[in-house]
Amino acid sequence: SAMTQTITLIEGDGIGPEITAQVVRVLQALQLPLTFDRQTLGQTALEQTGSLIPEATLQSIRKNHIALKAPCTTPVGQGFRSVNVQLRLAFDLYANIRPARSLEGVKTRYENVDLIIFRENTEDLYIGEERKIDEDTIEAIKRITRPASQRIIQAAFEYAAAHQRKKVTCVHKANILKQSDGLFLRIFREIAAQYPQIEATDLIVDNACMQMVMHPEQFDVMVMPNLYGDILSDLSSGLIGGLGLLPGVNRNEEIAIFEAVHGSAPDIAGKNLANPTALLQSACMMLDYLGYGDAAQRIHKALVSVLCDTPVRTRDLGGTATTTAFTDALIARL
């Protein structure tokens, strides 16, 4: 009797359509009251509609407030701004949240990774303000503002408080970028003071990278400006078994777009080789968000069962299974 929830579904480019098809199969197997409104974005959208970000896609997201999005390609060398960046800016999706948790059955150097990165998503070097001083000199602006810093840091602490997390770590380079990252760090300390029950620490980004590789178990919630978040989240995917596993969401208080951290992987596109797990785990985050936590758990258990009890895995995890065969095995265990 639950109301049907409509989700904007973006198949994307490269491996996007292949992994989307498999994730949709898994969701359909659960028979939840969800329907998909299929829209295009990126290279495919450009070819089909003449626009990288069709108005119909924006309207659909505006109406549904929720999207599941596969990776999209921005054509290079034609002066286009990244569609992913544009989409985040169009809806002011200021928080990019990426949980990296060790997955049972995936052998890595570490066992107890369970960290979650809150990446500021609207400013820093991503404002794309570069200028030519002369032929051999280019400058890029790194913008840090109080409102943008405040809301992402607040979101990280709110999450920590709501999920019984013990520690929030701020990552920055305030020793060099004294004003810009200095402001971010100062706001972090102000907000941390409002959450005395949560341990607050900060690390310079280079040290944070070293610590994450040496002792990733020590990290819990992490919050940082845009560029460090981009780099450290790829690093964190390496800790748990690679880009094929890491899910994420871009959101604000009204709209949430769930998407894998990885790109469209043109090197393996169209070959039925891609690992659908990152998009599937993004779909699980979406189910949690929609109040279908039980369904998300069922998918997670089936995933762990395939990885622990069978040799079935995609090539990125050292196996030989196709995208479809891997999903077949998972659906059989739901």
Catalytic residues: 126, 173, 206, 230, 234
Q: Which of residues 223-252 bind ligand ATP (CB under 6 A)?
A: 243-244
Q: Which of residues 37-96 bind ligand ATP (CB under 6 A)?
A: 71
| Under rule CB under 6 A, residue 160 binds ligand ATP | no
Which three-class secondary structure state does DSSP give residue 78? coil
| Under rule CB under 6 A, residue 275 binds ligand ATP | yes
Q: Which is nearer to ligand ATP, 33 or 318 (CB)?
A: 318
Q: Which is nearer to ligand ATP, 192 or 261 (CB)?
A: 261
What's the token pair of residue 235? 């690093």
Q: Which is nearer to ligand ATP, 169 or 277 (CB)?
A: 277
| Under rule CB under 6 A, residue 268 binds ligand ATP | yes
Q: Which of residues 13-32 bind ligand ATP (CB under 6 A)?
A: 15
**To which residue do tokens 């690093």 refer?**
235
Shortest Å, Cβ 85 to ligand ATP = 11
Contact 264, 279 (CB under 8 A): no
Q: Which residues contact 105 (CB under 8 A, 6 or more apart)?
A: 304, 306, 307, 308, 309
- What proportions of the chain, in percent to the nearest 5, are helix, strand and coil? 45, 20, 35
Q: Which of 93, 103, 278, 296 is the binder for ligand ATP (CB under 6 A)?
A: 278
Instruction: Give which of 15, 8, 1, 3 is closest to 266, Cα–Cα.
Output: 15
For 18, 24, 51, the CA distances from 40, given in Å and listed in that order, are 15, 16, 10
CB atoms within 10 A of CB 144: 21
How many whole angstroms separate alpha carbon 104 and alpha carbon 277? 13
**To which residue do tokens 């973006």 refer?**
10
Q: Which of 264, 281, 282, 322 is the binder for ligand ATP (CB under 6 A)?
A: 264
Shortest Å, Cβ 297 to ligand ATP = 22
Q: Which is nearer to ligand ATP, 11 or 220 (CB)?
A: 11
Q: Please give the residue whose beta carbon sits closest to ligand ATP in the complex.
A: 263
Q: Which is nearer to ligand ATP, 220 or 316 (CB)?
A: 316
Q: Which is nearer to ligand ATP, 43 or 169 (CB)?
A: 43
* Binding segment (CB under 6 A) for ligand ATP, from list 36-44, 58-66, 133-141, 268-276: 268-276
Shortest Å, Cβ 17 to ligand ATP = 13
Q: Which of 110, 263, 272, 325 is the binder for ligand ATP (CB under 6 A)?
A: 263
| Under rule CB under 6 A, residue 316 binds ligand ATP | yes
Helix axes 16-29, 277-289, angle to 10 degrees: 50
Q: Could you please report the per-residue DSSP string of 206-217?
A: HHHHHHHHH-GG
| Under rule CB under 6 A, residue 262 binds ligand ATP | yes
**184-218 b/e (C-beta count within 10 Å ≥ 16 → b):** bbebbeebbeebeebebebbbbeebbeebeeebee
| Under rule CB under 6 A, residue 208 binds ligand ATP | no
Helices (H), 136-260: 146-162, 180-192, 205-214, 226-240
| Under rule CB under 6 A, residue 265 binds ligand ATP | yes
Tell me, by CB under 6 A, how many residues bind ligand ATP: 14
Q: Which residues contact 197 (CB under 8 A, 6 or more apart)?
A: 161
Shortest Å, Cβ 32 to ligand ATP = 24
Q: Which residues are near ligand ATP by CB under 6 A?
A: 15, 71, 243-244, 262-265, 267-268, 274-275, 278, 316
